[in-house]
């Protein structure tokens, strides 16, 4: 089962990460450092998410083409871009749902 932690409290996220052998996802969240709101993710939880190989979705889909171009402009290669644009979420789905 994929645990979706968007809009949960910090303690809940930490407990979910501790309890789950599978990755967790933040399907629609933002960085608290950018906008200080209790529903947004603090930096320490974003780091923990990345260290575990979990996934963060932090931008509106309509902005993905502009984000992709900015990443290319900053030197991101095709493999990294593919992961950021959805490959990481696909990897998690395959891992958790045990598909090819």
Count how many domains the chain has: 1
Residue 91 class from Cβ within 10 Å (0-12 exposed, 13-18 middle, 19+ buried)?
Answer: middle
The distance of Cα 15 from the centroid of its chain, to the nearest Å, equals 17
Q: Which residues of the chain have pLDDT under 70?
A: 99-100
pLDDT at res. 13: 92
pLDDT at res. 54: 87
pLDDT at res. 96: 85
Domain carrying residue 83: 3-97
Give the mean pLDDT of the chain.
89
pLDDT at res. 30: 85
pTM value?
A: 0.72
């Amino acid at each position: 089962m994929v645990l979706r932690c968007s809009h949960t409290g910090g303690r809940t996220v930490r407990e979910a990460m501790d309890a789950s052998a599978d990755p967790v996802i933040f399907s629609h969240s933002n960085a608290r450092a950018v906008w200080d709101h209790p529903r947004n993710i603090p930096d320490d939880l974003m780091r923990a998410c990345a260290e575990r190989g979990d996934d963060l979705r932090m931008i509106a889909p309509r902005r993905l083409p502009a984000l992709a171009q900015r990443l290319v402009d900053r030197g991101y290669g095709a493999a990294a871009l593919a992961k950021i644009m959805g490959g990481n979420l696909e990897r998690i789905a395959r891992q958790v749902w045990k598909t090819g």
